[in-house]
Structure 1
Amino acid sequence: MIIAGASVQGTAHLADGQGCQDAFKAVDLGDTAVLAVSDGASSRDRSALGAHIAVDTACRLLTEDIPDTEETPEAWTRWIAGRGKRVVEEYLRAVAGVLGTGTGAGTGAGSEDPGALAATIAAAVVRPPWVALISLGDGFGTLLTDDDHCHLVLPPPTTPPPFLSSPGAAQRIRTFVVWEPELSGLVLSTDGCAALTLDHPSVRRLPPEAGPLPADRFFLGLAATLRENHGDAEPLRRRLSGPEAGRTGDDLTVLCALVEGR
């Protein structure tokens, strides 16, 4: 696998003296990659820590007991559903430890609401031809195939996103699997990247209800560059720091895994 990622502080955060509240982490298992990106709630001072807890938790749990490539779709679906619920539980347990609440409920005297570390999560296991994903919040994921096509398999939500610390998060987390024999890569992004990486459907002469579409120029160009330079993320960082990306004002994070030899 070729794995590369970058986070860039948003221009609005820079102007306000606010640090980057995104986080990402990847684990290279040889023929398998585990990816996670998280966006801390900008209104919460400690959300950057929450984002790091989120990606650490997701990567740890998603490296355990990964199904074999020959397993059935049902086996993969059961596995990722169980992982998704555990990510929420383990995140809340870790946050409770940070806050000293013991339960993460934030109900005791002098306790602090776990929402102080509010963060989203978008994470995936890439084991060709399988991709297993979990998501809570506004991150999104794009799948690349051998025929140079991009597929928005994890679209951003159309309603205000919940966080891992939101009530009922374990029931609201999304989990699903994709089987794609021509899989060549997967890219996870935080919502600050939407203007840079997603096209309005009118670009392809589609009606608005078709929803956002992955920008081929970004994803295919990124994949080609990373294959040529063997995963050096500096060109990605420069792209996320450019004027086109800066107009969002938000932090930007992109993390990808490309299947070698494609």
Structure 2
Amino acid sequence: MIIAGASVQGTAHLATGQGCQDAFKAIGLGDTAVLAVSDGASSRDRSALGAHIAVDAACRLLSEDIPEAEETPEAWTRWIAGRGKRVAEEYRRAVTGVLGASGSQGPGALAATLTAAVVNPPWVAFASIGDCFGTLLTRATVPAERARGTARLTPTHPHAPTTDTTQSPEAPPTDRCHLVLPPPTTPPVFLSSPSAELRIRTFVVWEPELSGVVLATDGCAALTLDHPSVRQLPPEAGPLPAERFFLGLAATLRENHGDAEPLRRRLSGPQAGRTGDDLTVLCALVEGG
């Protein structure tokens, strides 16, 4: 696995002297990776600590007793559901320990969201609460001419000319991106929210062409997600992953063997700075994918 991540302090936080309240952590286990990103609530002074507690708890608990790739969907679903609940419970236990017995502050003082993923190809198991989001990358074989930038997409008009690629040799696989965990449209729920262990979302994806997983905090939405109108789709289609970002990131990280500095520069660019919020991106790429 190629694992890389970066967090950048938001411009609004920088202007007010507020530190970065995002956190991320990853554990590499050979052909398996455990990823976690967390966004501390900007209105809570100690939420940065809450975010670090969240990713620590997630990576520790999700790296234990991971099902084998040959296990059934039911086994994977049961496992991530149980682990997601335990992550929420462990977060609350740790936060209670930090706050002490005085009770002068409630768990909301360390409010944070969380999205975590266990990448064990062909499986990806997700656990999420709040407004972070997740994208899958998959391999897609394309004709060699298109890979060199010379082929055209097949026109939709029935009488328009097309490019015949049926006899073209195959090119090395390229990637496609899929927003499998979109950011919610409702106000975020935090790990410190009441009954968080019952509100954490868990699900699994089986994808034999899996080539990578990317997690991001909500501050990255403007940089990494496209409005559906970009692809001539109605607004109700919802946000779409920006291929220019995800495919460019995957190509760069494969070329430089996981050096995260280009990712950090991208998160520090003028387009990213428009949001004012902290930005965090964490990814795992299947080597040779």
TM bucket, shorter chain: over 0.9
Amino acid at match of 1:8: V
Runs of 4+ in structure 1 over 2 Å off: none
**Residues in 2 aligned to 1:210 and 1:84: alpha-carbon distance in whole angstroms:** 28
Instruction: Pick the aligned partner of 2:112 from 112, 115, 119.
Output: 119
Structure 1 residue aligned with 2:88? 88
**Residues in 2 aligned to 1:171 and 1:45: alpha-carbon distance in whole angstroms:** 26
Q: How much has 1:168 moved relative to structure 2?
A: 1.5
Structure 1 residue aligned with 2:44? 44
CA RMSD after TM alignment: 0.6
Structure 2 residue aligned with 1:23? 23
Structure 1 residue aligned with 2:5? 5
Q: How much has 1:93 moved relative to structure 2?
A: 0.3
**Residues in 2 aligned to 1:198 and 1:112: alpha-carbon distance in whole angstroms:** 36
Rg larger in structure: 2
**Residues in 1 aligned to 2:68 and 2:104: alpha-carbon distance in whole angstroms:** 43
**Residues in 2 aligned to 1:39 and 1:226: alpha-carbon distance in whole angstroms:** 24
Gaps (5+ residues) in structure 1? Answer: 102-108
TM-score w.r.t. length of structure 1: 0.96
**Residues in 1 aligned to 2:242 and 2:188: alpha-carbon distance in whole angstroms:** 23
Note the 1:89-238 alignment, pairs <5 A. 89-101=89-101, 110-147=103-140, 148-238=175-265
**Residues in 2 aligned to 1:129 and 1:139: alpha-carbon distance in whole angstroms:** 23
Count residues with an aligned counterpart.
255
Gaps (5+ residues) in structure 2? Answer: 141-174
Q: How much has 1:149 moved relative to structure 2?
A: 1.1
**Residues in 1 aligned to 2:103 and 2:44: alpha-carbon distance in whole angstroms:** 18
Structure 1 residue aligned with 2:157? none
Q: How much has 1:196 moved relative to structure 2?
A: 0.1
Tell me the percent identity: 87
Structure 1 residue aligned with 2:148? none
Q: How much has 1:110 moved relative to structure 2?
A: 4.2
Amino acid at match of 1:41: A
Is 1:260 the counterpart of 2:269? The answer is no
Structure 1 residue aligned with 2:271? 244
Q: How much has 1:95 moved relative to structure 2?
A: 0.2
Listed one character per residue, the Cα deviations across residues 41-94 of structure 1 (whole Å, up to 9, x for unaligned) are: 000000000000000000000000000000000000000000000000000000
Change (3 A) 1:110 1:65: closer
Listed one character per residue, the Cα deviations across residues 116-159 of structure 1 (whole Å, up to 9, x for unaligned) are: 00000000000000000000000000000011211001110010
Q: Secondary structure at the match of 2:51?
A: helix
**Residues in 2 aligned to 1:74 and 1:159: alpha-carbon distance in whole angstroms:** 29
Listed one character per residue, the Cα deviations across residues 181-210 of structure 1 (whole Å, up to 9, x for unaligned) are: 000000000000000000000000000000
Q: How much has 1:213 moved relative to structure 2?
A: 0.2
**Residues in 1 aligned to 2:51 and 2:196: alpha-carbon distance in whole angstroms:** 15
**Residues in 1 aligned to 2:87 and 2:45: alpha-carbon distance in whole angstroms:** 22
Amino acid at match of 1:92: R
**Residues in 2 aligned to 1:170 and 1:211: alpha-carbon distance in whole angstroms:** 27
Q: How much has 1:111 moved relative to structure 2?
A: 3.2
Structure 2 residue aligned with 1:57? 57
**Residues in 1 aligned to 2:224 and 2:264: alpha-carbon distance in whole angstroms:** 14
